[in-house]
């Protein structure tokens, strides 16, 4: 294939992907996050908003690179199709209408299984930094987060769309329908507002379909609710958050439901940690609080309603990263910060215990 042909096909595929995304993500973003934001507050999943302009810019930038990766894969797929390597077809009569419906169902089930397992794999500490960290920058996701992936994750996400046309006969209309459903599901999963009605998580059949709360909890708490379209893999593998159904119902009642504990507070670091006064500077606002030994700086801050960013609380994702500009801390675990960051004074607040009476942190 000549470079010029490749480039014009790439551009066409990129624009197609980006426009479809814009058609879904932007109206939902504008409606829920801008125009009717106040009116819709009652169905907001996370009552305290933590997303800001930096997250929106970050998500848009990474969505652009995702659609570039998708476009390259699309061009390769179309090329292989033109050479007769795939089983894609255009005439409905070739396999009939029943196969059209069955193949769409199969696509959803197979992609859901693929997503669950590849998603869990990307949460493995050795892979997380290289694949999935970018997507988890937003702990309070918006529709703009839906396709905000690192390019390496974008390749994984496109896996089924790339492999299945070689494995089973797929009508172009089925592939396009699947892409539209996938886009809608992704945007709703990152909406930040619950649009699936009260009772959904208990209703027969419907309860097997993920809600907006389902994936939102994954962004908030990190180590559960990995599924894409259906809840069954999380249920079978014991990775569904225990309070998922209660959280969904809570949105419609706004009762206080005790959260699933995110971290074990008991730790033998108690002896090394000190009670300290911590000052944190987050987006030009200064907060001060006392730590409670043996809690980490993040735990103490959150207990006192300080809006500190966090996600995994396991030292993996780097969301809680801050620069320590005064004082000293010790970290229980670190799989997110590199040597240069450590030298520059960055710490993970979710893993940090103070070693001095005073600690000053800066969120950059």
Of 293 and 313, which has the nearer Cβ to ligand FES?
313
> What backbone torsions phi and psi does residue 22 show, to the nearest 5 degrees?
-60, -35
Of 189 and 301, which has the nearer Cβ to ligand FES?
301
Q: Site mask, ligand FES, residues 296-335, x = CB under 6 A? A: --------------xxxx-xxxxxx---------------
Residue 75 C-beta: closest distance to ligand FES, Å: 36
Beta bridge partners of 286: 281
In the chain, where does DSSP find H-type helix? 3-29, 53-82, 96-122, 125-131, 151-157, 159-167, 172-189, 212-221, 232-236, 244-253, 297-303, 339-343
Distances (CA, A) of 238 to 48, 175, 242: 28, 31, 9
Of 212 and 311, which has the nearer Cβ to ligand FES?
311
Of 9 and 311, which has the nearer Cβ to ligand FES?
311
Beta bridge partners of 348: 321
Of 200 and 346, which has the nearer Cβ to ligand FES?
346
* CA angle (52, 25, 234) in 5-degree steps: 85
Residue 50 C-beta: closest distance to ligand FES, Å: 13
Q: How many residues does this entry show for the chain? A: 364
- Is 295 a binder of ligand FES (CB under 6 A)? no
Count, residues near ligand FES per rule CB under 6 A: 13
Q: Distance (Å, rounded) from C-alpha 225 to C-alpha 248?
A: 13
In this structure, are residues 280 and 322 in contact, taking their beta carbons and an 8 Å threshold? yes
Q: Which of 144, 188, 227, 336 binds ligand FES (CB under 6 A)?
A: 336
Residue 282 C-beta: closest distance to ligand FES, Å: 14
Of 165 and 301, which has the nearer Cβ to ligand FES?
301
Residues 169-208 binding ligand FES (CB under 6 A) are none
Distances (CA, A) of 289 to 252, 264, 272, 277, 309: 33, 21, 19, 6, 16
Residues 344-363 binding ligand FES (CB under 6 A) are 348, 350
Q: Distance (Å, rounded) from C-alpha 179 to C-alpha 62?
A: 19
Residue 343 C-beta: closest distance to ligand FES, Å: 18
What is the contact surface with ligand FES in residues (CB under 6 A)? 310-313, 315-320, 336, 348, 350
């Amino acid at each position: 294939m000549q470079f010029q042909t490749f480039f014009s096909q790439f551009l066409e595929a990129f624009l197609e992907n980006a426009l479809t995304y814009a058609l879904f993500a932007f109206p939902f973003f504008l409606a829920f996050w801008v125009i009717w934001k106040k009116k819709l507050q009652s169905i907001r999943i996370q009552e305290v908003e933590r997303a800001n302009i930096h997250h929106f810019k970050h998500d848009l930038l990474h969505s652009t690179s995702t659609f570039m990766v998708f476009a390259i894969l699309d061009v390769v797929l179309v090329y292989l199709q033109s050479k007769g390597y795939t089983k894609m077809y255009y005439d409905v009569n070739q396999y009939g209408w029943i196969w059209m419906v069955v193949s769409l169902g199969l696509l959803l089930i197979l992609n859901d299984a693929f997503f669950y397992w590849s998603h869990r794999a990307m949460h493995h500490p050795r892979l997380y930094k290289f694949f999935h960290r970018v997507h988890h920058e937003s702990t309070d996701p918006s529709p703009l987060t839906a396709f905000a992936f690192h390019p390496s994750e974008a390749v994984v996400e496109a896996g089924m769309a790339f492999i299945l046309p070689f494995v089973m006969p797929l009508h172009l209309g089925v592939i396009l329908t699947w892409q539209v459903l996938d886009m809608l599901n992704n945007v709703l999963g990152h909406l930040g507002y619950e649009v699936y009605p009260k009772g959904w998580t208990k209703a027969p059949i419907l309860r097997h379909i993920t809600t907006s709360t389902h994936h939102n909890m994954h962004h908030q708490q990190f180590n559960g609710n990995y599924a894409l379209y259906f809840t069954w893999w999380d249920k079978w593998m014991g990775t569904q958050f225990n309070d998922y159904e209660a959280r969904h119902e809570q949105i419609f009642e706004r009762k206080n439901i005790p959260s699933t504990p995110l971290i074990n507070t008991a730790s033998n670091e108690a002896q090394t940690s000190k009670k300290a006064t911590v000052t944190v500077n987050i987006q030009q606002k200064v907060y001060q609080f006392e730590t409670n030994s043996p809690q980490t700086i993040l735990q103490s801050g959150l207990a006192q309603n300080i809006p500190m960013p966090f996600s995994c609380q396991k030292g993996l994702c780097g969301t809680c990263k801050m620069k320590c500009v005064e004082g000293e801390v010790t970290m229980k675990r670190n799989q997110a910060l590199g040597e240069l960051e450590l030298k520059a004074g960055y710490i993970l607040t979710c893993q940090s215990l103070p070693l001095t009476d005073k600690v000053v942190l800066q969120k950059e």
